Amino acid sequence: MKRAEILAAAEKCVCGQRETDYGTPEDNFETIGLLWGTYLRAAHPRLKMVFAINGVTPKDVAAMMSLLKIARIATGDTPDSFVDLAGYAACGGEIATKGDQTHDNER
């Protein structure tokens, strides 16, 4: 795939039906973060002393899902992993810069 095709496929994923199916990335990633935080505290009781249930933020989820895709890329090279990586990066970037007028004006 060409880079433009990867980006177009990622845009189709993150700006299309998925939001209808799963809600906004912010809301979906917040839910994932809460579930991950609950799991981590249950699986590793010592974390309860230092880690809040809501300690995994939507931005963290985007970054960690990107790392999952990078791990898949390390062991294979399907185009889907690169498309998904671009999508998670876009969602994470939007979440991280939400309310940043400088970036909003550049779009």
Q: Which two tokens stand for residue 92?
A: 């994470």
Mean pLDDT over each residue of the chain, to the nearest integer = 90
Q: Report the amino acid identity of residue 8.
A: A
Q: What is the pTM of this model?
A: 0.85
Per-residue pLDDT, 52: 86
Decide: residue 62, CB within 10 A, 0-12 exposed, 13-18 middle, 19+ buried.
buried
> Is it the case that residue 88 has pLDDT exceeding 80?
yes
* Number of C-beta neighbours around residue 26 at 10 A: 16
Q: Could you tell me if 79 and 13 are in contact, meaning their C-beta atoms sit under 8 angstroms apart?
A: no
Distance from the Cα of residue 29 to its chain's centroid: 7
